[in-house]
Copies of this chain bind each other. A is one copy, B any other.
């Protein structure tokens, strides 16, 4: 299990390539990565992700451990960036490896649902016409109720 919080870009290809590599007991790997979307009007200049150093690592570790406890997983990776990002940049990724695909898929969705609402990150968008904090979505809070 690995939990990484970093400012610099991450190497998605290398992370996916090395994750669960050589394991012959795991048949299924699911990955998710999030990308900064340009906003609908295309005016997004950049995004700043603020986080709570210390608590962030604890929260991500707790979420990853909970996934390992609930599903039969061979490995879990959670990686999240903070700082300045632009449209098209990769913000974060999770990966799960399991014997069977159902565990890998469910655990990855669980990780994402918890990351969205329980990990201390806050996004602020900067556009030509000003800056604004991204509001939490009630959908994201609701998504937790299924677990």
> In the complex, what's the smallest C-beta–C-beta distance from A96 to chain B, in angstroms?
10
User: Once the chains bind, are A12 and B17 in contact (CB under 8 Å)?
Assistant: yes
Q: Please classify the interface of chain A as helix (H, G, I), strand (E, B), loop, or mixed, using the class held by over half of its residues.
A: mixed
Q: What's the number of copies of this chain in the assembled complex?
A: 2
Contact, CB under 8 Å: B24 / A38: yes
Q: Which residues of B contact A36 (CB under 8 A)?
A: 24, 27
Cα–Cα distance between A78 and B71 once the two chains are bound (Å): 26
Interface membership of A4, Cβ < 8 A? no
Which residues from 1 to 44 on chain A have a C-beta closer than 8 Å to any C-beta of chain B? 12-14, 16-17, 20, 22-38
Seen from chain A, the residues whose Cβ lies within 8 Å of a Cβ on chain B are 12-14, 16-17, 20, 22-38, 87-88, 99, 101, 104-105, 108-109, 112
